[in-house]
Amino acid sequence: MMKKILTLLWVALVISSAGYAQKDLMSLNEQNKYTYFKVGVAPAMGVNTEALAGYLKNSVSGLQTASFDGPIVTGKGGVLVYKQGLVSGQEEGRIDYKVSIDFKDSKYRIILTDFTFTPYQRNRYGVFAPVDNVNVSLENGSNKFSDKQLNGYLDKLGAYGKKLEKTLTDFLFSKAAVTPKPAGLKKVDTQSW
């Protein structure tokens, strides 16, 4: 019996620590803003950033815009945060972000930053919606959410960034990632037989 209890406790600890470990994926940038920052290996050949932008917009839930400008893909998105209680699961707010992905020397660099939190409240129709178009940067939200909530948001933003990065790498190592070379024509000598 004791062994079963200890096993269950160990499993619960592993599950909970796995969730909280994602906060370690977040860091502070030069402006002291929360940032998901990763550099990874990209294909040696040029990346089709137009195709990448379209792929990300269709594949990443919460990504609202994605555009490309040469070797850089940028976008904006938002994710809902839910309060978890015994019987609730209500929208607590929305965290908006900016993302940029660029390429150099067979490497990609992905940055998610500029996180802003928009609190939600229940309105007269029984749905949870933004309050008076008020939002606050995640770094300055001490009067909108507690430290515990902030830690929860950072955990999940880390997980979200990781998932977005996985979507990026899935694309990079597929055929659509490569910028097609111009079709070269074979040269022939018309004088030869």
Partner 1 sequence: MTSTYFVQAQDTTKTTATTADPGLTFFGSVDTYYKADFNGKRPGSNVGNIGTSFATDHNSVSIGMVDLGVKKKYNKALFVGELSFGPRGQAQSLPNAAGVYDEETNSFHIQNLYVGYDLTDKLNVTAGYMATFLGYEVISPVGNFNYSTSYMFTNGPFQNAGLKFTYAFSDKVSLMAGIFNDYWNVYQSSREVSTVGGQLMISPVKGWTAYLNVLSGKFSGTEFDLTTAYQITDAFKLGLNAASFSAPQDAGGFAGIALYPQYAVSSAVTLGLRGEYFKNKTKSGAPYSYILPGEDVKAFTLTANVKAGGLTFIPEVRLDNAKSDGSFFKSNGTPSKSAGQFVVAAVYAF
CA distance 70 to 102: 9
Residue 68 or 93 having the CB closest to partner 1: 93
**Binding test (CB under 8 A) with partner 1, winner from 59, 67, 100, 169:** 59
Most distant CA pair in the chain, distance: 91
Residue 42 or 63 having the CB closest to partner 1: 63
CA distance 95 to 88: 20
| Kind plus residue range of the DSSP H or E element containing 164 | helix 147-172
Task: By CB under 8 A, tell whether 15 contacts partner 1.
Answer: no
**Binding test (CB under 8 A) with partner 1, winner from 2, 30, 125, 181:** 125
**Binding test (CB under 8 A) with partner 1, winner from 88, 106, 137, 174:** 88
- For residue 115, the cross-strand partners are none
Residue 46 contacts residue 179 (beta carbons within 8 Å): yes
**Binding test (CB under 8 A) with partner 1, winner from 108, 120, 160, 171:** 160
Q: Which stretch binds partner 1 (CB under 8 A): 4-12, 28-36, 40-48, 90-98?
A: 90-98
Site for partner 1 in 105-124 (CB under 8 A): 122-124
Task: By CB under 8 A, tell whether 17 contacts partner 1.
Answer: no
Q: Which of 186, 133, 163 is nearest to 56 (CA)?
A: 163
Residue 63 contacts residue 56 (beta carbons within 8 Å): yes
**Which amino acid is it at 52?**
L
| Kind plus residue range of the DSSP H or E element containing 54 | helix 49-59
Residues that bind partner 1 (rule: CB under 8 A) add up to a total of 45
Residue 123 has phi, psi (to 5 degrees) of -105, -175
Q: Which stretch binds partner 1 (CB under 8 A): 65-73, 105-113, 131-139, 178-186?
A: 131-139
Task: By CB under 8 A, tell whether 90 contacts partner 1.
Answer: yes
Residue 87 has phi, psi (to 5 degrees) of -130, 15
Task: By CB under 8 A, tell whether 10 contacts partner 1.
Answer: no
> How far apart are CB 144 and partner 1 at their closest, in Å?
9
The residues binding partner 1 (CB under 8 A) are 57-64, 77-85, 87-92, 94, 122-128, 132-135, 143, 148-149, 152-153, 155-157, 159-160
